[in-house]
Amino acid sequence: MAAEPMFSPSGERETKKERSLHTVAFLASIVLTILAFGAVVYAIEGGASAGFVVAFLVGLAVVQAAFQAYIWMHLKDEGHAVPQLFFYVGVYVTVVIVIGILLMSWWTVA
Amino acid sequence: MTTISVPVGGVRKKSLLWDYLTTVDHKKIAHLYFWTGLVYFLIGGLEALLIRTQLAVPLNHVLDGKAYNEVLAMHGTTMIFFVAMPLLFALMNAVVPLQIGARDLAFPFVNALSYWLYFFGALLTHVSFLTGDVPQGGWTGYFPLAHPDYTGYGMSYYAMGLQLSGLGTLLTGINFVATIVNHRAPGMTYMRMPLFTWTTLIASILTMFAFPPLTAGLFLMIYDQLFGGAAFDPAKGGNPIIWQHLFWIFGHPEVYIVALPAFGIFSEVIPVFSRKRLFGYPAMVVATALIAFFGFMVWVHHMFTVGLGPLANGVFGVATTIIAVPTGIKIFNWIFTMWGGKVRMTSAMLWSVGFIITFVMGGVTGVMMALPPADYQYHDTYFIVAHFHYVLIGGTVFSVFAGAYYWWPKMFGKLLNETLGKIHFWLFFIGFHLTFFIQHFLGLWGMQRRIFTYLPGQGFELPNLVSTIGAYTMALGVIVFAINIVYTFVKGKPAPADPWDGRTLEWATPTPVPEYNFARLPLIRGLDPFWLEKQAGNKTVPPAEPYADIHMPNPSILPFMMSLSLFIAGLGFIFKDQYHPSFLYLALFGVAATLLVMFLRSVIDDEGRHVPRELVEQEDAKGVSA
Amino acid sequence: MSLTAEPGRLGAAAPAARAGAVEKTEAPPIELATQEGRNKLIGMWLFIAAESVLFASFFAVYLALRHSTMGGPTGKELFDLKLVFLATALLLSSSFTSVMAVLNMRRLQAGAMKAWLLATWLLGASFLALEAYEFNHYVHMGHTFTSSAFGTAFYSLVGFHGAHVTFGLLWLFALLVRNLRREVTPYIAPKVYAFSLYWHFVDLVWVFIFSVVYLMGKVA
């Protein structure tokens, strides 16, 4: 063995900061979820158009997913350049596939 | 951390079979991929000969329609999934870790798992020959043809087999990306990586993103075939076009997955045998990345005649033609590399030059088909068959042969015979053009693909006969290659460590390569590091570290067991419909066994072992390279 | 992308920092202490990127087939928002508990880490039980895997997610069994971290499932 692996356990301050960040993300996710469900209840009662609610829902989902990825999955942290790159490529392919299949399965395009 | 030391003088002698069943060494896994791929190459080639024999004369009866469909479907499936990719994986496994100065892949255990998944996936597909329900739906598996109502359970073997081997391929892709990102030797920056490593990286990224749509499609296919699903069944509101989308979203990047590493191999061979550095290295890297990027936005060009509308066809047509630009850049760079170089026409170099000629022809017909109005003429004719054999044989198969002649000494410690190599090349090259050049015209004259025979008096007789003669000439070439392999193993002399006056790091390792590849990790001081050091008067690449104990992974039988369990599960799921419902228990047993093996892998600690410093120093003193 | 010959522009760690050649100035968190740990981080992210495309394919198929109910119950008639909200809350909480486990792991507090992981397991299991109840309910309403293309696409997507939850629970079970009596070490830390990444990803997919499948199904 060349050397014992080096690492540093998180300190008290760091942990406190992280813990409050994660708690905020958790609360924010709950708020976003309630907003999404609320919008749908509102729409069912005729308060908003379906098209608007769909766009709103997708927006909320993207924000909440970003919370998950950047904060909880530590994508924002240092040393995550490669994971970020592949995350973005994954998003690119995802968008291409969903839009492609959605537009080109039942109807002809133009 | 516990350290299990290996006593000086080597480990307990294991049988060769057990060694290969449990190995996690990338060099041995490369051997496994290579030989398995070669066996399937012979099987797929035999199927090709059957096809050409059947089509040699009109109204022939060597095969009936059903048998022809089976042979055709298996030929395509085998050649793409069980030949092209594994043979490229063989070369990647053998070479990439050596080229970047790594001791193994990032996940050696997963690497073994990938191989065994491929092995059992291919085996599962071929079990169909024993049960009588052989895939007949073509390698594209279009619905409704892929449904048991139309072709029996053959396509279930296809789906299950591809699901297994596809999982292995996905893991291989992840493995190579992680390796190339994390395991480069000190100084081996991204822009100092050899082109084969670059193309492996980008092809692996494509694998990661292209295989999941296929996996999803195959799941739905299996659901429709064996579990009463209806995703592709119009009677229940399903839509077979979705399968076509999923298949081609995978299928087009797949073409680049097998083409880009081929480009990488030629980019290694051509500079070495021209004694010049690769012309336009950064342009080559960017071109590779661009091909991969656009590769995800062109899949509809396989579906122009489906009727998706002029806008869809137009957008995808334009995107497809754009790909010709980076590919053209590459072609010119190879030509400029040879230009003014001291060209040595070795076997590997012959394949490379043959590739440039052949691939340009395949590329030009590709641009023709990228134009939707023109494609309506070519679609489902032999023009298409000619095109994709020009790019797949001219690109991938030629590259595997070039790579085999080039890296054989590093992989197997002996040099293949050059004379036999040249005979092999000329037979195969002439046979290839004889077979497929005429098929362009057959297509334009109106001969449809995938039809098991044709009528006399349409002008198809002579061209088909010529094509068949060409196919047998190619087969002769392959036989010469087989003789060459046997001859080399029996009579070949041990190869020197650097037989070609190489440029890249793999030639700086001793032959045979030690288990840990590098006694001390090398320090990379530029592109073509070995060449630079030789030019500077050094014998080898300088080390970046002192001698130390080397951490190596333990061999394991678990990858084999896990793949075997999944194989049993797959068979069980098919047999439950094909033979008897109680085979469901066999399937569940397979799934349970898989989970059990995974559980074992989780709870049994495996911290690897260490090769002691003394042994490393001792071996390093014996096998000084160059 | 940089085309200069500088080390490590694209990578997680500069190549020179490896194999003990050059000592890093600041020590990394425990899950990245070993080469295996650094590999696991990259490997898990690559796997997640690939999986996101797999789920994207199932989402695309579901969206394309969501109206093919063939006279059976539609999403609007089937979905119960209260149930879905409860399921969402459970999975979201389990994601939170797993991130707390990682937080404690980085402080080498094995007991707290295991307690949070156990909480994660229980929350995940409750989610799964709820999903099983929900599917059973749908089957009784005539919405089955084989009834229509909508059914196949729905169960393929949501069931595939459920299978991921199941697999995650088995994985976590194995982790807990293995570490019942052990401390946090650089050997085990990457395994816990990889699991937590996986678990967050499963939750991330659920965000899109409840938004796109359930909520949009209620509206459109």
3-state secondary structure of B488: helix
CA distance C103 to C193: 10
- Write phi, then psi, for B363 (nearest 5 degrees): -70, -40
Residue B477 lies in a domain: yes
Q: Considering chain B, what is the average pLDDT of its residues? A: 93
Residue B251 lies in a domain: yes
Cβ-based neighbours of A73, under 8 Å, separated by 6 or more: C197, C200, C201, C204
pLDDT of residue A48: 78
Give me the number of domains chain C comprises: 1
Q: How far is CA C41 from CA B178, C31, C36, in A?
A: 9, 8, 9
What's the rounded mean pLDDT across residues B93-99? 96
Residue B568 lies in a domain: no
The residues facing B551 across adjacent strands are: B610
The tens digit of pLDDT for each residue in B499-557 reads: 999 999 999 999 889 999 999 999 999 999 999 999 999 988 999 999 999 999 999 99
Q: Are B222 and B156 in contact (CB under 8 A)?
A: yes
| Residue B18 pLDDT class (50, 70, 90 cuts) | very high
Q: How many Cβ atoms are within 10 Å of C38's Cβ, its own excluded?
A: 24
In this complex, do B241 and A93 lie within 8 Å of one another by their Cβ atoms?
no
Residue B625 lies in a domain: no
What's the rounded mean pLDDT across residues B445-469? 95
In this complex, do C49 and B220 lie within 8 Å of one another by their Cβ atoms?
no
One-letter amino acid at B113 equals L
- Write phi, then psi, for B37 (nearest 5 degrees): -60, -40
In this complex, do A37 and C85 lie within 8 Å of one another by their Cβ atoms?
yes
pLDDT of residue B13: 65
Residues of A in contact with C204 (CB under 8 A): 65, 68-69, 73
In this complex, do B239 and C65 lie within 8 Å of one another by their Cβ atoms?
yes
In this complex, do B181 and A82 lie within 8 Å of one another by their Cβ atoms?
yes
- Is cis: bond before B512, omega within 30 of 0? yes
What's the rounded mean pLDDT across residues B573-601? 96
Q: Measure in Å the smallest separation between the Cα of B323 and chain A Cα atoms.
A: 18
- CATH number for the domain that contains residue B261: 1.20.210.10
Residue C137 lies in a domain: yes
In this complex, do C103 and A41 lie within 8 Å of one another by their Cβ atoms?
no
**C-alpha torsion A50→A54→A59→A60, nearest 10:** 90
Of how many residues is chain B composed? Answer: 626
Q: Measure in Å the smallest separation between the Cα of A105 and chain B Cα atoms.
A: 6
Of how many residues is chain A composed? Answer: 110
Residue C23 lies in a domain: no
Residue C7 predicted with pLDDT over 50: no
Residue C10 lies in a domain: no
The tens digit of pLDDT for each residue in B107-150 reads: 999 999 999 999 999 999 999 999 989 999 999 999 999 999 99
Nearest CB neighbour to A109, from listed B296, B297, B311: B311
Query: Which of A17, A42, A62, A73 has the most C C-beta neighbours within 10 Å, making it the best mutation to test the interface with C?
Result: A73
Residue C5 lies in a domain: no
Write out the residue range of the structural domain in which residue B461 sits: 16-556
The tens digit of pLDDT for each residue in C112-158 reads: 999 999 999 999 999 999 999 999 999 999 999 999 999 999 999 99
Residues of A in contact with C50 (CB under 8 A): 90
Residues of B in contact with C3 (CB under 8 A): 191, 282, 285-286
Q: Are B221 and B151 in contact (CB under 8 A)?
A: no
The tens digit of pLDDT for each residue in C159-200 reads: 999 999 999 999 999 999 998 888 898 999 999 999 999 999
CA distance B510 to A25: 54
Residue C15 lies in a domain: no
Residues of A in contact with B209 (CB under 8 A): 89-90, 93
H or E element in which residue B19 lies: helix B16-22
The ipTM value here is 0.93
In this complex, do B245 and A109 lie within 8 Å of one another by their Cβ atoms?
no
Residue C48 predicted with pLDDT over 80: yes
Nearest CB neighbour to C81, from listed A22, A40, A83: A40
Write out the residue range of the structural domain in which residue C179 sits: 35-68+79-219
pLDDT of residue B209: 95
A56 Rama class: left (phi>0) / alpha (psi -120 to 50) / beta = alpha
Residue B611 lies in a domain: no
Q: Which chains touch C (3 or more CB pairs under 8 A)?
A: A, B
Residue B561 lies in a domain: no
What's the rounded mean pLDDT across residues B175-188? 95
3-state secondary structure of B552: strand
CA distance B279 to B203: 21
Residue C201 lies in a domain: yes
Among A6-20, A75-89, B277-291, which range has the highest average pLDDT?
Answer: B277-291
| Residue A6 pLDDT class (50, 70, 90 cuts) | confident
In this complex, do C89 and A10 lie within 8 Å of one another by their Cβ atoms?
no
Residue C45 predicted with pLDDT over 80: yes
Q: Measure in Å the smallest separation between the Cα of B523 and chain C Cα atoms.
A: 9
Report how far apart the first and last C-alpha atoms of chain C are (Å, whole number).
42
What's the rounded mean pLDDT across residues C205-214? 95
- Write phi, then psi, for B522 (nearest 5 degrees): -80, 160
In this complex, do A108 and B297 lie within 8 Å of one another by their Cβ atoms?
no
| Residue A3 pLDDT class (50, 70, 90 cuts) | low
Residue B199 lies in a domain: yes
Give me the number of domains chain B comprises: 1
Residue B576 predicted with pLDDT over 50: yes
- CATH number for the domain that contains residue C42: 1.20.120.80
CA distance B301 to B323: 12
Q: How far is CA B64 from CA B68, B70, B369, B449, in A?
A: 6, 10, 31, 16
Q: Are B150 and B173 in contact (CB under 8 A)?
A: no
Q: Residue A100: closest CA among chain B residues belongs to which residue?
A: B245
Residue B279 lies in a domain: yes
H or E element in which residue B550 lies: strand B550-552
The residues facing C198 across adjacent strands are: none
CA distance C28 to C41: 13
One-letter amino acid at A56 equals F
Nearest CB neighbour to C21, from listed B186, B282, B527: B186
- Closest by Cα among B194, B156, B200 to B177: B200
pLDDT of residue A14: 84
